[in-house]
Structure formats: structure tokens, C-alpha cells
Amino acid sequence: GAVVSQHPSRVICKSGTSVKIECRSLDFQATTMFWYRQFPKQSLMLMATSNEGSKATYEQGVEKDKFLINHASLTLSTLTVTSAHPEDSSFYICSAVRGGSYNEQFFGPGTRLTVL
């Protein structure tokens, strides 16, 4: 099956620093990748849609200057949390779409971000 990786799996940083999370589709090319955020015991909330070669589309209420997304190639999208604060602590999950169908949406293992 298709594999999507995320790096790092866990990160702890100080308040005010920036953190970059990578999402890679290992065995397929993905024109579209998604970034989700998940709080404990809650569902995944879509943050943004990352399209290769173009600007990301952000969901309402998500600050694009706070969460910078770069989809530089068909196998890599990055999410940078800028000037992180404790309220940014969360589980961040990416997904990559193979082909054009949502049933071909494969999720990464997630990145646990803790901001002290």
C-alpha cells in the first residue's frame, strides 16, 4: 500500500521558536496533500490544502502567516509553525492523495508538537 511519512514524529520546542514538519509520500506522487490538526480525544480538523507548485489554501480561522506550507515537489510538503506558543501544542497529521479520489488519501503517522 501507499506510504506517507512524517518527520519528526515528536518535537519539543521553546515558545517563540519555529518548527518545521515534513510530510513525504514515499512510493507515489501527490499533487495534493492536506494538513490536519488534532487535539486530544477530538477529530481531525483540516488546516490547509497543499498543492504542488502553487499556494496553499487555508481553512477559515487558520493563520497562513502562522502556519507556513510549502509543497515544493510531488512527494514533499512542509508545515512550519512560526513563533510557536503553548496553544500550538497539538498532534499534526498530513495526508497525501494518490490520483484524484479521496479514498486514495493516505495519512502520515502524525507529529506531536509540544511548545513549552
Of 51 and 82, which CB lies nearer to another protein in the complex structure?
51
List contacts with another protein (CB under 8 A): 4, 6, 41-46, 59-60, 91, 93, 95, 102-103, 105-110, 112
Q: What angle do CA 28, 67, 23 make, to 5 degrees?
A: 20
Q: How far apart are CA 86 and CA 88, in angstroms?
A: 5
To another protein, the closest distance from the beta carbon of 92 in angstroms equals 10
Of 82 and 112, which CB lies nearer to another protein in the complex structure?
112
Q: How far apart are CA 78 and CA 6, in angstroms?
A: 9
To another protein, the closest distance from the beta carbon of 67 in angstroms equals 16
CB count in 10 Å sphere of residue 111: 22
Residue 79 carries which side chain, given as an amino acid letter?
Answer: L
Of 38 and 82, which CB lies nearer to another protein in the complex structure?
38
To another protein, the closest distance from the beta carbon of 74 in angstroms equals 20
Q: How far apart are CA 71 and CA 23, in angstroms?
A: 9
